[in-house]
Amino acid sequence: MRQSIIDGASDAATELAQQALANGIDPLEAVNLGFAAGITFAGDQFGCGQMFLPDLLASAEAMKAAINILEPEMLKRGSQRETLGKIVLGTARGDIHDIGKNLVATILSASGFQIFDLGTSVTPEQFVAKAKEVDADIVGISALLTTTMAGQKAVIEALDRSGLRPRVKAIIGGAAVTQKWAAEIGADGYSRNAIDALELAKNLMGTIASEETT
């Protein structure tokens, strides 16, 4: 199972998931002890430059294929896969550039985050509504253009008004986004690329956990 994910072999992963169900293996164990180990390995290999984005995307697709097979049985048994956190993603209003956001979604999802991708040109209201609906931990707003960066600020203000913040964290990214801009609009973090975004999201989940215990 682990190898099918590392190889990015969706067909093999599907077949192994079906075999697991046929043999009465607990689907949650198949994920946690089998397939997820592959995604962790792939993420590590990507992090140290041994695997590349197309490899990682294929691993994420294979993971999705396996989960699709196992999910109905997991629901039946009332067991749920543990996720690192729930993240709502989208590009700011007026911005249709989504390649960076899609990469972040893939890498975060492959690493165990649950991603709710709202797509491109998303309004502040849509971000807030989705964050409420899924009880999100983090909202990520992407903007490529200097002209649409103002949209990131609008989302953060809407999250503030809705009372979701500071519990829900807001992060931003995009070619023109800088640390200074992130500070100016009161974002909880920014990252320059998808790899940094993973680190950032993990750190914020740590912050959330420590806030909840205090």
Partner 1 sequence: MRPRIQLLAPDLIERILGEAFELLMSPGVRVGSAPVIELLRSAGVEVDNGVARIPERVVRNCLASAPQDFYLYNRQGEKAVHYGGDDVHFDPGSCCVQMLDPDTVEARPSETRDLVRLVQVTETLPQFAAQSTAVVCNDAPSAIGDLYRLFIVLQHSHKPVVTGSFSAGGLPGMIDLLAADSGGQDNLRRKPRAVFDVCPSPPLNWSEFGSHNLLDLARAGVPAEIVSMPLAGGTAPVTLAGSVTQHAAEVLAGIALHQLAGPGSPIVWGGAPAIFDMRTGGAPMGAVETAMLNMACAEVGKHLGLPTHGYLVATDSKFVDAQAGAESARSAMLGALIGINMISGAGMLDSLACHSVEKLILDTEWIASAYRLVRGVEVRTETLATGMFAQTGLSGEFLKLKETRALFRQEQHLPSSVIDRSARGSQPPSDAFTRARARVDELLSIYQKPSLPEEVLGKFQKILGREADRAGIASAFRGD
Binding site for partner 1 (CB under 8 A): 49, 52-54, 96-97, 99-100, 103, 145-147, 150, 175-176, 178, 180, 193-195
If the CB atoms of residues 103 and 110 are measured against partner 1, the closer one turns out to be 103
- Please state the closest distance from residue 154 (CB atom) to partner 1, in A: 14
If the CB atoms of residues 26 and 55 are measured against partner 1, the closer one turns out to be 55
If the CB atoms of residues 98 and 188 are measured against partner 1, the closer one turns out to be 98
- Please state the closest distance from residue 38 (CB atom) to partner 1, in A: 20
C-alpha span between 214 and 206 (Å, rounded): 13
Its sign, for the CA torsion 58, 61, 67, 69, is negative
- Please state the closest distance from residue 35 (CB atom) to partner 1, in A: 24
Instruction: Look at residues 20, 22, 50, 46 and name the one whose alpha carbon lies nearest to residue 33.
Output: 20
C-alpha span between 57 and 17 (Å, rounded): 19
- Please state the closest distance from residue 176 (CB atom) to partner 1, in A: 5
Instruction: List, in order, residues 6 or more apart from 51 with CB less than 8 Å away.
Output: 42, 45, 59
Structure tokens belonging to residue 170: 């807001």
Q: How many other β-carbons are positioned within 10 Å of the β-carbon of residue 82? A: 11
If the CB atoms of residues 75 and 96 are measured against partner 1, the closer one turns out to be 96
- Please state the closest distance from residue 103 (CB atom) to partner 1, in A: 5
If the CB atoms of residues 1 and 122 are measured against partner 1, the closer one turns out to be 122
Give yes or no for a contact between 11 and 23, defined as CB atoms under 8 angstroms apart.
no
